[in-house]
Amino acid sequence: MRASWVSKTVLLIIAKYVVIIFSTIIAYHILFAPFHTFTPFSTPTKHVFNRSIDIRWPKHLKSLLIFPASLKLVFIDDPFLTCVVDADQAKKAHACQKLASAETTRIGTYLSIPAFKKVFNSKVLNNTTTNDTWTLEPQTYADALVLKYHYHENFDKYVIINSLEKKNGTNYHLLRGARDLKTIGIRHFTNDKFSLTSTVGVKKCESECYAFLPKELHRHMAYLKAVEMLYCDQNLAKINVLPNATWNIPKKALTVLDDLIDEYIDSNQIPFMCHGTMLGWYRDCGIIPHTTDMDYCIKAEEYVEDFHTKFINHKTHPPMRIIGKAEYGFELTYWLYHDEKGYGPAWVDFFYMYKENATHSWTPLLMDFSRGVRVKDYVALVDKLCTGDIYGHLYFIPCEPLAYLDTRYGETWNKSNPDAGYFEKGVQYAKNGNWNMKQGEYYKSF
């Protein structure tokens, strides 16, 4: 009796320590799991699949995922991508769980919607092995479909199918929203393949058992963070852009700009339209005809020191000059050598955007180069980023464009004024000291 009691106690103590040791290991992994580190000067690394946890697909997704090749399925949205490729096990587990818990999820297909429907009807819809049922929701867009899965336990899940068949003359895909998911724009779609065999069961899947996913995942994920796609004001554009308008900046300059912006995204600096470029996007639905440069902003906390130096000898977008300091008022200008006949090179200003207070941000302006006189240009606080289109090119943009424009340009911005100088009436700005140092220390041209 006594001996057995002792051994039970010993076993309990051992069990207790095993639990403590294991929970310490788990806690250590949760607390000290490395953040995604990024080396700004290397080219983006290809993601490495980590299948060390089993993915248990919810039934509604599994009934599609056993036909990945026939349905030409593409993982495009965050929980799918994080669930299948993230190396951080805790993040991965959360994302996989989100796929089960979310009422609405989103999958892409390389088929057109009519072609998808055909395969879906023949392979998935009439599969009578369960008492669950799929139905198609009324279709709102030609390039999207919403499927409803009714679990026989009496609850519903929805899957938005976004066709990635065509880009419709743009450099991005529109992923239409429905229910709680918004319409977003996504670039960078060269694909990779992800084998689903081990996750849906070896014998269950059709013979070619892989789904597609974006190859340039880092850039892709940056666009996925944008809240939604915003649109310009077509009526204002009709009033403001005259039929005989001619532009100082050719559309071709945007192709060079896209390349530069991609490099910035790789370094985790997200350039978004601001100032005149944002005004042109909203009011003129394009570039302002009389403008001579493009304006993009980057949140100052994303600043990467000396990032521009890697472009000093770049063929199409070398830096022209830098002004300011990382701590205060850094801005830089790049040439955009676009080769369009009849035009000189264009240029783009990248302003780093600093926070002023709870309602305002500011970007720097050097008012007097020789004396180093500084100005703060105020704008409404920029927090979340959305996306918008300029001539078929996708760009980030503050999610509150009207508040931004009212603060930046006063209430007269809705009327184009080719004679406007920089400090047009209504522009909110303040002189804020000067660089008390040699010009070469706050200003450098290349």
Ligand X SMILES: *[C@@H]1O[C@H](CO)[C@@H](O)[C@H](O)[C@H]1NC(C)=O
Chain contacts with ligand X (rule: CB under 6 A)? 48, 50, 52, 63, 66, 87, 89, 121-123, 125-127, 129-131, 142-143, 168, 204, 239, 242, 244, 356-360, 378, 411, 414
Give the nearest distance from C-beta 414 to ligand X in angstroms. Answer: 4
Distances (CA, A) of 372 to 121, 227, 321, 331, 440: 69, 38, 15, 14, 10
Pick 14 or 242: Cβ nearer ligand X: 242
Q: What angle do CA 399, 400, 401 make, to 5 degrees?
A: 105
How far apart CA 148 and CA 83 sit, in angstroms, is 22
Give the nearest distance from C-beta 174 to ligand X in angstroms. Answer: 6
Give the nearest distance from C-beta 43 to ligand X in angstroms. Answer: 18
Beta-carbon contacts of residue 265 (< 8 Å; ≥ 6 apart): 218, 219, 222, 271
Give the nearest distance from C-beta 170 to ligand X in angstroms. Answer: 8
Can you read off the two tokens belonging to residue 392? 């078929």
Pick 327 or 411: Cβ nearer ligand X: 411
Give the nearest distance from C-beta 261 to ligand X in angstroms. Answer: 23
Beta-carbon contacts of residue 275 (< 8 Å; ≥ 6 apart): 295, 297, 351, 363, 377, 408
Pick 254 or 256: Cβ nearer ligand X: 254
How far apart CA 350 and CA 364 sit, in angstroms, is 10
Pick 11 or 142: Cβ nearer ligand X: 142
Give the nearest distance from C-beta 358 to ligand X in angstroms. Answer: 6
Pick 305 or 419: Cβ nearer ligand X: 419
DSSP class per residue in 339-354:
--TT---EEEEEEEEE
Pick 305 or 411: Cβ nearer ligand X: 411
Beta bridge partners of 333: 321, 349
Give the nearest distance from C-beta 309 to ligand X in angstroms. Answer: 31
SS3 content of the chain, % helix, strand, coil (to 5): 30, 25, 45
Give the nearest distance from C-beta 294 to ligand X in angstroms. Answer: 22
Pick 311 or 378: Cβ nearer ligand X: 378
275 alpha carbon, distance to own chain's centre: 20
Give the nearest distance from C-beta 203 to ligand X in angstroms. Answer: 9
Could you tell me where the DSSP H helices lie in 33-139?
A: 59-65, 78-85, 89-101, 113-119
Give the nearest distance from C-beta 363 to ligand X in angstroms. Answer: 12
Q: Are 267 and 304 in contact (CB under 8 A)?
A: yes
How far apart CA 272 and CA 349 sit, in angstroms, is 11
Pick 36 or 310: Cβ nearer ligand X: 36
Which amino acid type is present at position 398? P
Beta bridge partners of 45: none
Pick 348 or 382: Cβ nearer ligand X: 382
192 alpha carbon, distance to own chain's centre: 19
Give the nearest distance from C-beta 371 to ligand X in angstroms. Answer: 23
Beta-carbon contacts of residue 278 (< 8 Å; ≥ 6 apart): 295, 397, 398, 401, 404, 405
How far apart CA 409 and CA 414 sit, in angstroms, is 9
Pairing of strands 104-109, 73-74: antiparallel
89-101 and 78-85 helices, crossing angle to 10°: 140
Pick 337 or 378: Cβ nearer ligand X: 378
Beta-carbon contacts of residue 50 (< 8 Å; ≥ 6 apart): 85, 86, 87, 89, 92
Q: Are 108 and 162 in contact (CB under 8 A)?
A: yes
Pick 125 or 304: Cβ nearer ligand X: 125
Pick 114 or 444: Cβ nearer ligand X: 114
Give the nearest distance from C-beta 206 to ligand X in angstroms. Answer: 8
Q: Are 323 and 317 in contact (CB under 8 A)?
A: no
